[in-house]
A and B are shown apart, each in its own frame.
Chain A
Amino acid sequence: MTTSIITQKMIGQALKDLMEKKSFQKISVSDIMRQCDMRRQTFYYHFQDKYELLVWIYQSDTKEQIADFLDYERWDTILYQLFIYFNDHQLFYKNALSVTEQNDFNNYLFRELHVLFKQMVRDLTPMKSSEQSDYMARFYSYGFVGIIKDWIESGCKHSPEMMRDVVYQMFDHQLGLSKKESEYDR
């Protein structure tokens, strides 16, 4: 049987729905498949176990929210959309982040953000060498992953709009500084 991405998304959605009310540990593959009204066997056509499904969700969601938008929206819009997305799915992510044996959320989010920030740094400070740009992009990506995680764990205490404004101001300040520096260098 060929893998269907939409079937994978449906199974993922079932897990997300269940995790809004129940902890990950208490959910079985049978629960998930009952939730999406599919045969249990279909799960195993697409995933080995529920851990693989959880990782797939991280991977697929971060790709669809970031990488797929890289040529379509500017970096600031993508970051704002990302805050809205996590705000809308905060119950699932809060629960998912408490699955202690996993570090995949950080890894996938970092990977996608790194590409986004590399593009942003390149656009805003074209004078930087690729090595410098890469360090800056990594710095922002690590910071942003941390901010997102803290924000989700706080129950998204501040609105996506406020988070967006905080992050924009930070970049503005940082990139404004680096702009001044490069002017000074000249």
Chain B
Amino acid sequence: MKHIINDKKIAIEAMLHSYQFEHQGRLSIDLKDHIIYYKKDSGVSLISGGGSGHEPAHFGYVGKGMLTASVNGALFTPPYPDRIMRAVELTDNGDGVLFIVKNFASDVEMFTEAKKRAEASGHKVEMVIVCDDVSVENKDTYSKRKRGVAGTVLAHKILGYFSQIGKSLTELKVIADEFIPHLYTLGVALSSAELPNTDRFFSLGENEVYYGIGIHGEKGYRKESFESSEQLAIELYNKLKKLHQFKQGEHYAFLINGLGATPLLEQYVFTHDIQRLAVLDKINIDFIKTGTQLSSYNMQGISLTCLKLTDPLFEIALQADVDASHW
């Protein structure tokens, strides 16, 4: 496969450098530590990050009303604690720092270590772990995978809003604990991602799709022949419907996320199917967003995130204007 890069080793730096150049009026960069950030005079600083290759996550969400900083690791590899620590030093104005971390063992390990170090240096730090992936982890027990995937972007948005309106670090942690248990995501691949100089993570027949794949090529729970967008929408929607136990009149937010190589046209066709399915169940979609928000590099596929809106304030948080390039 062909990739538009020069030297693989400096691709991340080149990307961050040019992204910040594009947004130089409002964003800063620490090129040595791969951090995109802006300075906030007051309010809790929100830091997220992880491996690169999931663009526009997470630097595309740095800006007023969302993240304060994004710490970017190598391709599919989380950043080291000293880099996260550097992001804390760059952005903590004394009101504390909230880490928003996708639930992968190495990400959690790096951010936990950074939290320890930051606290030892006198910073107030809390950590929120997003675990919205409800694909199957274990084929014997059918336990769910619980990794952090596209729903993380909704967590950025909701927590970003509450930070913006002046909620304290402790309050933000309570808010996160309230909505994260109601946040579910499930995806489908039409093809595997393919990183530069790396083999495909899994193989699919010409007309096959793979339900339940993860964002780093984690395996799914079922392969089947592709028929239509409706077929994919029904499969993913029905799983989330069952987990949420949809009841008529309830309120939900949906995120339809392209996984890297899915045309926007197709994402909207799929969105239309989801909208119609929600009409059938007589549930209210108070918020819906379509676009490539958290990708799996160049995977062709789509994920569906569904958040039960247990508090009307969450809808307000999702609808509020932000100054982030990719929301």
Contact = CB atoms under 8 A, between A and B. Distances in A.
Interface of A: 4-6, 9-10, 13, 64, 68-69, 71-74, 77, 81
Interface in B199-232: 212, 221-222, 228, 230-231
Given A5-B228, A10-B280, A13-B280, A73 B234 contact: no
B242 interface: yes
Contacts of A81: 242
Given A6-B276, A13-B280, A73 B142 contact: yes
B234 A71 contact: no
A69 B242 CA distance: 10
Contact of A64 (B141, B234, B276, B279): B234
A6 B230 contact: yes
Contacts of B136: 71-72
Contact of A5 (B222, B234, B242): B234
A6 B238 contact: no
Contacts of A69: 242
Contacts of A71: 136, 221-222
B117 interface: no
Contact of B280 (A4, A9, A74, A77): A9
A54 B136 CA distance: 33
A96 to B, nearest CB: 18
A69 B235 CA distance: 9
Nearest to A70: B222
A74 B143 CA distance: 9
B279 to A, nearest CB: 8
Contacts of B277: 6, 9
Interface magnitude class on chain B:
20 to 34
Contact of B142 (A9, A13, A74): A74
Interface in B264-293: 273, 276-277, 279-280
- Central interface residue in A64, A68, A72, A73, by most chain B CB within 10 Å: A72
Given A5-B234, A77-B142, A72 B276 contact: no
Contacts of A13: 280
Given A5-B234, A71-B136, A10 B142 contact: no
B167 interface: no
A41 B199 CA distance: 51
B239 interface: yes
A115 to B, nearest CB: 13
Nearest to A75: B142
Contacts of A72: 136, 142, 212, 221-222, 239
13 contacts: A4-B230, A5-B230, A6-B273, A6-B276, A9-B277, A9-B280, A68-B238, A69-B242, A71-B221, A72-B222, A73-B242, A74-B142, A77-B142
B231 A5 contact: yes
Interface string B232-244: 0111001100100
A68 B221 contact: no
A68 B235 contact: yes
B10 to A, nearest CB: 42
Contacts of A4: 230
A4 B276 CA distance: 11
Given A71-B136, A73-B142, A77-B142, A6 B222 contact: no
Contacts of B273: 6
A64 B142 CA distance: 18
Nearest to B135: A72
A120 B141 CA distance: 12
Contacts of B231: 5
Contacts of B238: 64, 68
A112 to B, nearest CB: 14
Contacts of A68: 235, 238
A117 to B, nearest CB: 17
A153 B278 CA distance: 29
Contacts of A5: 228, 230-231, 234
